[in-house]
Structure 1
Amino acid sequence: MNAEFIEALNDIEKEKGISKEVLIEAIEAALVSGYKRNFNSAQNVRVDINREMGNVRVFARKTIVEEVTDSRSQISIDEAHEIDPNYMLDDIIDMEVTPRDFGRIAAQTAKQVVTQRIREAERGIIYNEFIDREQDIVTGIVQRQDGRFYYIDLGKVEALMPVNEKMPTETFKQGDRVKAFITKVEKTTKGPQIFVSRTHPGLLKRLFELEVPEIFDGVVEIRSVAREAGDRSKIAVHSSDPNVDPVGACVGQKGMRVQTVVQELKGEKIDIVKWSEDTAEYVANSLSPSKVVHVTVYEGEKMTRVVVPDYQLSLAIGKKGQNARLAAKLTGWKIDIKSEAQAAEEGFTFTEPVSIIPLEKKNQPESTEFAEAHVEEERE
Structure 2
Amino acid sequence: MATVLESPADLPPSPGGPPDADVPRRLGTRRAPADRAFRGVLRGGGISVLAIMSFVGIFLLARAWQALRVAGPSFLTTQDWEPDSHHFGIAAVIVGTLLIATVAVSFALPLSLGTALYISEYAPARLRRALVTLVDLMAAVPSVVFGLWGFFFLQGHLTDVARWLSTVFAWFPPLAVQGTDPRDPLSTVTVYTSSTFVAGLVVSLMITPIMTSIMREVFMQAPVGEREGALALGSTRWGMIRSVVLPYGAGGIIGGTMLGLGRALGETIAVYMIISPVFQVQWHVLQNGTNSVSSLIALRYGEASTFGMSALMAAGLTLFLLTLVVNFAASSIAARSRSGQGT
Q: What TM-score do the two structures reach when normalised by structure 2?
A: 0.18
Greater strand fraction, Structure 1 or Structure 2: 1
Greater helix fraction, Structure 1 or Structure 2: 2
Structure 1 or 2, whichever has the larger Rg, is 1
Higher RCO structure (Cα 8 Å, ≥6 apart): 2
